[in-house]
Structure 1
Amino acid sequence: MATSVKIVEGEADFPVPSAGKPCKTWYKVYGDLKSGALPLVILHGGPGATHDYVENISQLAYLYGIPVVVYDQLGNGLSTHLPEKMGDTGFWTVQLFIDELHNLLNHLDIHGSYDLLGQSWGGMLAAAFAVQQPVGLKKLIIANSPASMQLWMEATARLRLQLPQDVQDTLDKHEAEGTTADEAYQRAKLVFYEHFLCRKVPMPEPVKTSFAWIKKDPTVSMTMNGPDEFVIVGSLKTWSIIDELHKINATTLLINGRYDEAQDSAVEPFFQHIPKVKWVQFAESSHCPQLEEPERFMEVVGNFLLQNY
């Protein structure tokens, strides 16, 4: 285990002509990208969250000598914000974030050889990136992600039925009345999160930080998703990658939790259609196994990345 790891923060210029202003992608690198070890690039979820709640995956740099790159996607966290693009579904597209990833890989000079881990929405993005068969992508990790939003919505609807009846009633009432910003709805949503998003109590600070960023600037989350995981009204509502999964040629690890919002039914198409794939489920986790079972998570991911497949 390395006792010290070099940590570098930076910004990559990301030219987006339709943005109407200069854009930058903020990133942080744990470890040495020139060490000869294949770097792991991490895509956070949301859409509209930040790197904070996946940053502890950087432990791989200390435990296994794997350089780790975390970054905030455009519109989020420490990267350029574009609140004037609220509701602009023609701007906030999956391809925009694929272009941003290519741009960052080029900026860091690792485009020729790297591994990729996408968590939740980040896994959807990683899959969409991987079906384009980028030359430098060696291994792919899809963590806690649905293969289609339809399967995700069906899974979360079933999970809601496991909540106390009064919590279900509160969620139903405010959704029907269009008052999802109400405090009672937010409290009821928190009960769902404690069961199926992160089972650690109290909720870990990095998760709170990412939620705070979404609240501060909901542009990306509202445009692409909607108020929350139940009310999907954004541009991702009809998203599915199932028909293209056979094109992924990177060796792939699938991860989900036993109590995950990304239930087996939503994850299974990845397992059925990606040619080289392995699936590991975390028995004590919901949607954030990197925080709920961190030691096992690092072991599973580290071993997958270092083994020759």
Structure 2
Amino acid sequence: MAPAPSARGTVAFGPYRTWYRVTGDLQSARPTVVLVHGGPGSTHDYLLSLAALAEHGWPVVHYDQLGNGGSTHLPQAGADFWTVELFLGELDNLLHSLGVADNFVLLGQSWGGMLSAAYAARQPEGLRGLVVANSPASYPLWTDELAVLRAQLPPGVNETLLAHEAADTTDSPEYLEAMNVFYDRHVFRLPEKPTELTASMMEIANDPTVYFTMNGPSEFHVVGTLRDWSVIDLLPRIQVPTLLLSGRHDEVTVGAVQPYYDLIPDVRWEIFEESSHGPHLEEPALFMKVLVEYLRSLD
């Protein structure tokens, strides 16, 4: 169970509101770890266990990105509204509104890792470190890697997926059943989903506006506005010590992560052998050990 929050609330982001949760003391000498969740269009819930970093001495900020969870929902907003720049601006606004912009670490998971890398490439003065977890460096590269994973599914599964994708019937029960075969292999491998992961999945289902618009109907059918987005050209600009984290069975394959390792000047990479897309939930003790060791190295 995650430690109780020390504060919760919302900050203004233009005419909208961004929901946040603080664990620990933001006045600590140690940098605040700001957690940037995936999706896009998910919520903070599945990352709640990382609030335990506060028990090791690092204050933690969770937040829900615009469009989901406790932040402002905009189900009528069109594709031109949901942009990378929107979410970069929201993150910057949050850091300054909470007074942590002068001393922070970003930990981004999945889409949140790409967003965090793009923010880090702007070389904000207060950034002390960057953790990129389970994140592709490029959507086109990731799509190519996903095709390889899909081809390795049991006979008939990918054919079912392809047929429904071609017919635009990805909301059918047959597609969802086939989709779960992929998810059980490459998104979350444990037999029972923790409640915090289920909570985030339910939030996406309750309002899929952002996820469907920017990603697509599933993790492996990326047809939304992000389909051509890449941070590869930005990676050499990242000047802080960076930790890459991924799972051996991750939907974000080694090939999709490799550009981070090749191009960020100060980087190390930890692969969790028993995990897929959520090693913080699949191998939590080892994940926390690796993360705390990295944060201590920043001291």
Paired residue type of 2:149: L
d(CA) in 1 for partners of 2:193 and 2:4? 27
- Asked whether the 8 Å contact 1:123–1:142 carries over to 2, the reply is yes
d(CA) in 1 for partners of 2:261 and 2:3? 37
- Asked whether the 8 Å contact 2:3–2:52 carries over to 1, the reply is no
Q: 1:307 aligns to what SS in structure 2?
A: helix
Structure 2 equivalent of residue 114 of structure 1:
104
Say if 1:205 and 1:272 are closer, same or farther in 2 by CA, change over 3 A: same
- Asked whether the 8 Å contact 1:224–1:234 carries over to 2, the reply is yes
C-alpha distance after superposition, 1:99-143 (max 9, x if no partner): 111111111101111000000000010011111111111100000
Equivalent residue for 1:29, pick from 14, 19, 22: 22
Say if 1:195 and 1:37 are closer, same or farther in 2 by CA, change over 3 A: same
d(CA) in 2 for partners of 1:274 and 1:39? 22
Structure 1 equivalent of residue 167 of structure 2:
177
- Asked whether the 8 Å contact 1:6–1:32 carries over to 2, the reply is no
Structure 2 equivalent of residue 131 of structure 1:
121
Paired residue type of 1:56: S
Structure 2 equivalent of residue 303 of structure 1:
293
Paired residue type of 2:260: F
Paired residue type of 1:120: S
Normalising by structure 2, report the TM-score. 0.96
Residues 185-224 of structure 1: matches in 2 within 5 Å? 185-224=175-214
Residues 229-248 of structure 1: matches in 2 within 5 Å? 229-248=219-238
- Asked whether the 8 Å contact 1:5–1:61 carries over to 2, the reply is no
d(CA) in 1 for partners of 2:191 and 2:24? 31
Q: 1:116 aligns to what SS in structure 2?
A: strand
Structure 2 equivalent of residue 78 of structure 1:
70
d(CA) in 1 for partners of 2:213 and 2:229? 14
Q: 1:48 aligns to what SS in structure 2?
A: coil
Q: Percent of counterpart pairs with the same letter?
A: 50
Gaps of 5+ in 2: none
Structure 2 equivalent of residue 96 of structure 1:
86
d(CA) in 2 for partners of 1:151 and 1:42? 25
Residues 49-60 of structure 1: matches in 2 within 5 Å? 49-60=42-53
d(CA) in 2 for partners of 1:210 and 1:167? 26
- Asked whether the 8 Å contact 1:5–1:31 carries over to 2, the reply is no
Structure 2 equivalent of residue 19 of structure 1:
none
d(CA) in 2 for partners of 1:184 and 1:203? 21
Structure 1 equivalent of residue 257 of structure 2:
267
Matching of residue 38 in structure 1 with residue 31 in structure 2: yes
d(CA) in 2 for partners of 1:58 and 1:157? 35
Q: 1:165 aligns to what SS in structure 2?
A: coil
Paired residue type of 2:253: Q
How far does residue 4 in structure 1 lie from its aligned partner after superposition? 6.8
How far does residue 176 in structure 1 lie from its aligned partner after superposition? 1.9
Aligned length: 298
Q: 1:76 aligns to what SS in structure 2?
A: coil
Gaps of 5+ in 1: 16-21
d(CA) in 1 for partners of 2:298 and 2:62? 24
How far does residue 203 in structure 1 lie from its aligned partner after superposition? 2.2
- Asked whether the 8 Å contact 2:28–2:58 carries over to 1, the reply is no
d(CA) in 2 for partners of 1:218 and 1:4? 29
Paired residue type of 1:271: Y
d(CA) in 1 for partners of 2:256 and 2:154? 24
- Asked whether the 8 Å contact 1:33–1:39 carries over to 2, the reply is yes
Paired residue type of 1:13: A
d(CA) in 2 for partners of 1:125 and 1:286? 20
Paired residue type of 1:70: H
- Asked whether the 8 Å contact 2:22–2:59 carries over to 1, the reply is yes
C-alpha distance after superposition, 1:61-81 (max 9, x if no partner): 12x111111000000111000
Normalising by structure 1, report the TM-score. 0.93
Structure 1 equivalent of residue 41 of structure 2:
48
- Asked whether the 8 Å contact 1:249–1:275 carries over to 2, the reply is yes
- Asked whether the 8 Å contact 1:43–1:126 carries over to 2, the reply is yes
